Structure 1
Amino acid sequence: MAQQAYMTETDDGRQGPEHPASPLRRLLHRLGGALRSDRGIWRRGWVVAVCALLVALVMLAHAYIPNRVGNLGSLVETFLPWLGLAVPVLLVLALVRRSATAVLAAILPVAVWLNLFGGLLSDKNAAGGDLTVATHNVNADNPDPSGTARDVAASGADVLALEELKASAVPTYRTALSGTYKYHAVVGTVGLWSKYPLSDVKSVDIRLGWKRAMRATVDAPAGRVAVYVAHLPSVRVKLEAGFTARQRDKSADALGEAIAGEPLENVVLLGDLNGTMNDRSLKAVTSQMRSTQGAVGSGFGFSWPASFPMARIDQILVKGAEPESSWTLPPTGSDHLPIAARVKVATARD
């Protein structure tokens, strides 16, 4: 078949043949012909179009979804990025229906998703920073605590936080990490290992009745840093109760109060918060701190579950200090992935 060509006007005003049409031009020409010949192309696909608009509305107005019924708002916000998967499905349905209306409607959730999460797709890591930190929920049932300890120590972190420490496994972690970290402190089920001296170590009351949060001062070469380690209560999704997160939310409020009263300028929070930065129920913490993954890093940095990460519930948050880079570490024997970041400690003010 001969390749279709189009007429174009020459310099002397006469019409002459243009170069063979490009694939894009041929496609647009065919679409134009379809629009002229198939008037139903605008009348079909309204159900798909409405679904596309609903997906866009949920992403755009997720903060207005109420939490009164089963913490539905927090549940949606936890997995908000995954709503983008609805877009290709909607586009396929629109093409199957041969509906121009549905195709145009599907563009809206694409635009909203890119506005919310497009910035995470680029690599914003920089080479600066003077303190490397890491955190890992090691899993109380970890079959290889010694190997896990060696893996996270190999990250090069100056300060390492571990959560869900089983009492019987603590000596194993101490032994495995002693060659890399001279200083350490364990409070309840959380611990902090550091290459630099620790002081003012204390438990942080997050209203649980047992110890799952701590605070310590790290005397880093660039300056003193208040480091908080926390493991907020787990959440569950139950058919009859929805997203059960009340205890976690109370603990997040208590942790936020403790951090708000911190006298040091440089503050780093390391831990498993059992929630994402989009979850409004963590606002007592997230409203006053920056996520290293959101500010720098590359991609979403999902950390749980390790076998198929779907959400970033392990967090490194900073106040005062500036994030420079953020990354996810390889899997260990835990059901969480360890995460790390490099920050620049702010110079103390006079």
Structure 2
Amino acid sequence: MNRAAVLTGIGSRLPSRAVSNDELAASLDTSDEWIRSRTGVGRRYFAAPGTATSDLAVGAGARALASAGDPAVDAVLVATTTPDRPCPATAPLVAARLGLSGTPAYDVSAVCTGFVYGLATAAGLICAGIAGRVLVIGAETFSSILDPRDRTTSVIFGDGAGAVVLRAGDPAEPGALGPFDLGSEGEGGDLITVLAGGSRQRLSGVEPGPGDHYFTMAGKKVFRLAVERMSHSARTVLDRAGWKTGDVDRLVGHQANARITRHLAEELGIPPERCVSNIAEVGNTAAASIPLALDQAHAAGGIGPGDRVLLTAFGGGLTWGSTVLTWPVIARPGDGPHETDPHERAGVRR
């Protein structure tokens, strides 16, 4: 193969409202110490009322396009678990708001693995010659599906968006995405789920229960499976790329839980100082977690040109996936990943 998808731009957006552990603990039977010790989360960001996933996606996408130095792309992909509506997809709206009306755009639904699946899909478009440049966005407003009374989920997740621009290039150049490994296991679909709202529930003839519209997760089983599937997937792509674990300068796993990241690094034999983690500052942002972590690390100098980077994720479906790249030189215009929500500027508070 003489054509590859090459990373050429990156950007992210967070809502302006930070929610501390103490704020959540005031309404839950928990504490800052309990949350930090079990998840690693210190705070997360929640979107204001009236803000949707597409709003964060547009912000991150605009920054990624500016970073790439070219607003034109041939396709827009949005990975999300929390689309603006069940129908239509969120991506066409995002494309239109970015001035890309007429560009093919569609959503990718693989929960926390969605961004890696989106990268693989974009790479396929580029390698097949269908597209020369693709904008891939991971965006979530997970606060919209969390049960505020459930401390096992409501303390972990947050809202945000991250995006990258990929262009056609040479497989040997910096930024070229390496081999991919993707997988799924539908038998475990009930471990990470929202029971109500789809055709299964609507056509069952049974009214949904009071908590069926909220996100649920079987934490202990998910913990074990996440480490197992991500470590196996990561080793697979390292073997395909001809890398050893000692060659990895930065491990960027899905920011599910600080303990999962730690166990994953131990399983792979990668020193903890080589792990990129932002879960303490933003929580688990699902499909947005990897691009958001990459953008923040890039801005802070935690990832630099020439670094060999391993990406791996695990999410509902069950799904998992990994890829590698050598970090290129990327411009990062602007002043940071935060976006002041227009509703909050008007004085509305969540």
TM over 0.5: no
When normalised by structure 2's length, the TM-score is 0.30
Bigger RCO (CA 8 Å, 6+ sep):
2
